Amino acid sequence: MFWLEDKTVMITGGTGSFGKKCAQTLLQNSKLKRLILFSRDEQKHVALRRSLFPADRYPQVRYFVGDVRDEKRLMYAMRGVDYVIHAAAMKHVDMAEYNPHECISTNIRGAENVIHASIESGVKKVIAMSTDKAASPINLYGATKLCSDKLFVACNALAGKDGCRFAVVRYGNVLGSNGSVVPFFEEQKAKGELPITDGEMTRFIITLQQGVNFVMDSMHRMVGGEVFVPKIPSTRIMDIAEAVAPGCRTRIVGIRPGEKLHECMIPSDESRLAVEYDDFYIIRPTQRSWTTEKPYYETTGKACEKGFSYTSDSNKSWLTPPMLRDLIRECREVPAGTMRSEKPKLKIVA
């Protein structure tokens, strides 16, 4: 990542699953001036500093305790920052349904604070993490992320012609991340039975490393206003169960409030704005009032057909239980105090 040499990068939600993996990747593949991990969880900061990124080996890492709800704290953290990766969010569907005000404060007002602080601090680029649940949302989490996405796209106009550029990355379930189905199934298999919401359920699947690679590629490529969507495989919930606990008894418990049977990353209503590339899609902004220059996606890629949609049940690429088992094995947490030495592949494998 030559373009990051001697630059300062800040990750909001920097102590979460994505933040840690992103930090590892950046430290292994670029010569950063500074890397700022911004998170409200003091204990996670301490754990990272003691184990994964000790100060004697990684003096460029800064641990900034703060909340995206606090705009002033964000302003302090962003002094001298070149690039921001916004990964902080309240993301659990059921918790968001029960605590709607907290979800709105973090996911929407927090996004506004990141935008304002980035513009005022002279940040060059911001890329925001989104979710497949933001496409045609039926739960509050998805609705807040859709609102956040709209804010990040529209605020390019607020920043002006030569100001900070903003873009969004939208992808599906992260295999093995905190709170995801794989660690839950691993806990439940000891009881001899796996609770299944619906046997027909499908989901998009991406690994943490693939997600990080796609985010960094998108940040390098972005000109502002894009929503980047990777081409990733789907899987069935029953296949995940078979991969984690072969032959284990299952019990259907029903879909939880706010949950979909199948996920969508590009609804048909957005097909007229979608451009296809070999391993990703771009959803173009409806307008580009902040510049008169023609962006690259107007002359490259292939316009998607009218009515096209990208859904987990109609996907062309699928993961089988053996493939899932291999991915789960590869995604095991790196032991504390160590980092993988091999250079990660910088491409999504679908």
Residues assigned a catalytic role: 133
The C-alpha atoms of residue 110 and residue 127 are separated, in whole angstroms, by 14
Instruction: Extract the tokens encoding 337.
Output: 């105090």
Instruction: Extract the tokens encoding 330.
Output: 């590869």
Q: Helix H segments across 189-229?
A: 208-221
Q: Kindly report the length of the chain.
A: 350
Check residue 337 and report its DSSP letter.
T
CB 66 within 8 A of CB 74: yes
CB 97 within 8 A of CB 257: yes
* E-assigned strand segments in 231-313: 234-236, 249-252, 264-266, 274-276, 280-283, 302-303, 310-311
Phi, psi of 342 (to 5 degrees): -75, 150
Q: Burial, 72: exposed, middle or buried (Cβ in 10 Å; 0-12, 13-18, 19+)?
A: exposed
Task: Give me the DSSP letters along 5-32.
Answer: TT-EEEEETTTSHHHHHHHHHHHHH---
> Of the candidates 327, 333, 349, which has an alpha carbon nearest to the alpha carbon of residue 240?
327
Strand-strand pairing, 173-174 and 202-206: parallel
CB 39 within 8 A of CB 15: yes
Task: Give me the DSSP letters along 90-135.
Answer: ---HHHHHH-HHHHHIIIIIHHHHHHHHHHHHT-SEEEEE--GGGS
The C-alpha atoms of residue 157 and residue 164 are separated, in whole angstroms, by 10
